[in-house]
């Protein structure tokens, strides 16, 4: 067909958002030659629509990417389009743009098969062997967008993490998950991006705000900590909603594990509710034990290695790091300084005596000492309350964890009895003690691994109560056997002293009078020795020091000392001692150089003898 009347011939140019519903039989369209076959020529009407010009309907010779005019002869029921080439000298072009209404990510489930537009921030860019996967965050959720150029080639290379974009594409189901197949991804201009970003920030701020819920038990100290706990919970919720990875570091004992696992359940459930990949809870959340009760250089080195690799390989943001049952003392500061080079944010939930120099590195810091409490309010108690603020739905799974943490950490605070009373029907005190011992025993063999599923079974979070009981019983039997074997080796070598303040001091060299590299380790060995000595010396003030070539572990009952302060004083008073350490006021550890052991121990004992005695 040829016609020179500009008013009679109309040619349509399809925009990138148009789909098959925008194509009409009989209309003429601008197209581009895509390729050839024996039977004809394929022509693209836009990036997502193509048809076939049979060789009998071709008017001339063409090569790939040539512009061409075609009339739609037929749209078949299966969606195939039959075209014929037309040659027109003069015509009018009309652009067709589908004005896709911008929808919220939370509404996509009702849009399957439809072309939509979403606006949001790019949170992650992951290049696969096929398409490029963009993770987009708006005020309501997270959504993966697949963009394909050719296998393994980065689509939209100009787009980077943090950009505010508009995506137009079809909503589809892939592997039982929603995904948008992108037809267009556009970086919004600065003024428009600012409006969208402000809208998202405002909505996310409201969405991240924790619910107002009562505490599990009545506690004046925990009540005074509520504002800071809410702050921590809000920071964590916002990290989840913006697809920021979270690394949770915790002390590798029953208290630290209970605190961390409570938060783990809350965060993982929230990640799954918020969208993303089917395994997003594994690459957006990592729980890792710390051997020491502080964040060591070794810990930050591992975490930086993990995070920087994922940042490069998978386009992930740098993580939020949450420390629980550690993070409050000057021993943590060297690791914080390294992390600050990478602008890694930190929040802390701890009950060790805090040092004032630490808070400048932290976004938030939950610690009972800040509100007049002490270490009797354990990390497991605090972590569980924070977990409930993060995601109240997980409370039935974790409400027994504060009781386990309290007995595991030998808390003498009144909150211990309250948390035990809360769950005594299902978890009486002896059961909580067994669970705590099973955690300590299993974590010893796990070393630096989190043992996620095994730990869930020990804590009966999986709901398989029969397996939980069988596993705990087995682990407790194994732990007690090894403890008794260790005690039979240690106890004959305990050296007693009576100090000038009438405290009964007991010394045990756990390096030469205890089994090495097995359970219980030196710290727990010293604690077990101390427990036996306390029973043997009822009503008396007792201090136990378990020491090795370059360390000492302290346990105290009835002696009012301050181990962190003593460590600082010894460091200043003994040049060349290489002294460091800390912990709680009456439970802690100290390190020194081996050649100064005798000097350090005697100076330490002198300070203990100057401490006041508590009435027992």
In a shared domain, residues 136 and 233: no
Answer yes or no: are the C-beta atoms of 418 and 219 closer than 8 Å: yes
The parts of the chain modelled with pLDDT lower than 50 are 1-6
Question: Has residue 459 been placed in a domain?
Answer: no
Q: In the listed set 207, 241, 268, which residue is the last one of a domain according to the structure?
A: 207
For 259, the enclosing helix (H) or strand (E) is helix 254-273
For residue 499 the two structure tokens come to 């100090």
Is residue 174 located within the same domain as residue 250? no
Pairing of strands 177-187, 164-174: antiparallel
Question: Mapping DSSP to helix (H, G, I), strand (E, B) and coil, where does residue 501 land?
Answer: coil
Q: Are 258 and 402 in contact (CB under 8 A)?
A: yes
pTM: 0.80
Q: Give SS3 for 529.
A: helix
**474 part of a folded domain:** no
Residue 40 lies in a domain: yes
36: exposed, middle or buried (Cβ count in 10 Å: 0-12, 13-18, 19+): middle
Question: Domain range spanning residue 158?
Answer: 105-207
Do residue 226 and residue 201 come from a single domain? no
Q: CATH no. for residue 323?
A: 3.90.1640.30
Integer-rounded Cα radius of gyration of the chain: 33
Closest residue by Cα to residue 613 from 496, 536, 500: 500
Is 469 inside any structural domain? no
Per-residue b/e over 211-248, b at no fewer than 16 CB within 10 Å?
eeeebbbebebbeebeebbbbbbbbbbbbbbbbbbbbb
Q: Pick from 514, 493, 590, 517: which is nearest to 550 by CA? A: 590
- 79 and 153 share one domain: no
Does one domain contain both 271 and 332?
yes
Answer with the one of 57, 75, 96 that is the final residue of a domain: 96
Per the structure, the count of domains in the chain is: 4
Per the domain annotation, does 356 fall within a domain? yes
User: Quick one: which of 132, 177, 181 has its CA closest to 272?
Assistant: 177
pLDDT for position 186 = 87
- Expressed in percent and rounded to 5, the helix, strand and coil fractions of the chain are 40, 25, 35
What residues pair up with 35 in beta bridges, in sequence order? 42
Q: Could you tell me if residue 63 is inside a domain? A: yes
**Contact 244/367 with Cβ under 8 angstroms?**
no
Q: Dig out the tokens for 378 from the structure.
A: 């354990």
Q: Do both 371 and 317 map to the same domain?
A: yes
**Same domain membership, residue 418 and residue 289:** yes
Buried b (16+ CB within 10 A) or exposed e, 306-323: ebeebbeeebbbbbbbbb
Q: What Cα–Cα distance (Å) separates residue 380 from each residue in 106, 358, 407, 421?
A: 34, 21, 10, 16
Closest CA to 9 of 29, 32, 36: 29
Cα 42 from Cα 80, distance rounded (Å): 11
Q: Say if residue 154 is in the same domain as residue 249.
A: no
| Cα distance between residue 442 and residue 472, in whole Å | 10
DSSP 101: P
CB 457, CB 471: distance < 8 Å: yes
Cα within 13 Å of Cα(109), Cβ side: 8
> Do 137 and 123 meet the contact criterion of CB atoms below 8 Å apart?
yes
Is 197 in the same domain as 145? Answer: yes
Specify if 436 maps to a domain: no
**Residue finishing a domain among 164, 180, 207:** 207
């Amino acid at each position: 067909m040829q016609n020179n009347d500009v008013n009679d011939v109309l040619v349509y140019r399809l925009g990138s958002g148009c789909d098959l519903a925008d194509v009409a039989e009989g209309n003429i369209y601008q197209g581009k030659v895509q390729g050839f076959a024996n039977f004809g020529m394929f022509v693209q009407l836009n990036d997502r629509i193509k048809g076939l010009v049979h060789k009998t309907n071709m008017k001339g010779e063409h090569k790939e990417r040539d512009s061409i005019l075609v009339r739609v002869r037929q749209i078949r029921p299966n969606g195939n389009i039959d075209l014929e080439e037309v040659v027109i000298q003069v015509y009018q072009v009309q652009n067709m743009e589908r004005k896709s209404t911008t929808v919220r990510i939370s509404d996509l489930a009702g849009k399957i098969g439809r072309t939509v537009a979403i606006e949001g921030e790019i949170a992650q860019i992951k290049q696969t062997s096929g398409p490029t996967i963009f993770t987009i965050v708006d005020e309501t959720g997270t959504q993966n967008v697949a963009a394909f150029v050719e296998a393994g080639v980065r689509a939209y290379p100009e787009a980077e993490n943090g950009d505010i974009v508009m995506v137009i594409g079809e909503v589809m189901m892939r592997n039982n998950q929603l995904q948008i197949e992108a037809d267009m991804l556009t970086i919004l201009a600065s003024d428009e991006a600012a409006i969208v970003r402000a809208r998202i920030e405002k909505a996310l701020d409201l969405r991240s705000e924790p619910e107002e819920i009562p505490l599990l038990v009545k506690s004046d100290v925990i009540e005074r900590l509520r504002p800071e706990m809410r702050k921590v919970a809000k920071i964590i919720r916002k990290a989840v909603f913006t697809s920021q990875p979270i690394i949770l570091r915790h002390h590798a004992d029953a208290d630290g594990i209970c605190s961390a696992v409570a938060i783990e359940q809350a965060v993982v459930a929230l990640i799954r509710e918020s969208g993303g990949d089917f395994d997003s809870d594994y690459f957006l959340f990592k729980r890792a034990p710390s051997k020491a009760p502080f964040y060591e250089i070794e810990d930050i080195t591992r975490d930086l290695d993990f995070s920087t690799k994922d940042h490069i390989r998978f386009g992930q943001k740098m993580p939020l790091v949450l420390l629980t049952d550690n993070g409050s003392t000057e021993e943590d500061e060297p690791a914080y300084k390294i992390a600050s080079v990478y602008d890694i944010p930190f929040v802390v939930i701890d009950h060790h005596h805090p040092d004032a120099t630490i808070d400048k590195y932290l976004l938030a810091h939950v610690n009972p000492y800040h509100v007049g409490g002490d270490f009797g309010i354990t990390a497991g108690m605090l972590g569980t309350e924070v977990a409930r603020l993060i995601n109240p739905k997980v409370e039935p799974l974790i409400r027994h964890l504060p009781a386990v943490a309290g007995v595991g950490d030998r808390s003498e605070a009144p909150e211990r009895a309250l948390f035990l009373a809360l769950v005594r029907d299902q978890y009486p005190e002896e059961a909580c003690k067994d669970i705590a011992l099973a955690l300590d025993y299993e974590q010893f063999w796990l070393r630096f691994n989190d043992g996620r599923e095994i730990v869930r079974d020990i804590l009966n979070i999986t709901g398989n109560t029969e397996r939980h009981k069988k596993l705990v019983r087995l682990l407790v039997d194994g732990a007690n056997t090894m403890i008794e074997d260790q005690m039979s080796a240690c106890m004959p070598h305990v050296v007693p002293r009576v100090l000038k303040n009438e405290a009964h001091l007991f010394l045990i060299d756990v390096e030469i009078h205890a089994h090495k590299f097995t359970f219980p380790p030196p710290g727990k060995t010293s604690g077990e020795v101390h427990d036996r000595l306390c029973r043997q010396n009822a009503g008396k003030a007792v201090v136990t020091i378990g020491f090795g070539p370059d360390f000492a572990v302290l346990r105290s009952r009835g002696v009012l000392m301050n181990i962190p302060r003593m460590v600082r004083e010894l460091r200043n008073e003994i040049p060349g001692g290489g002294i460091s350490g800390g912990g709680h006021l009456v439970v802690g550890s100290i390190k020194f150089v081996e050649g100064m052991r005798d000097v350090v121990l005697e100076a330490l004992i002198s300070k203990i003898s100057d401490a006041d005695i508590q009435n027992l």
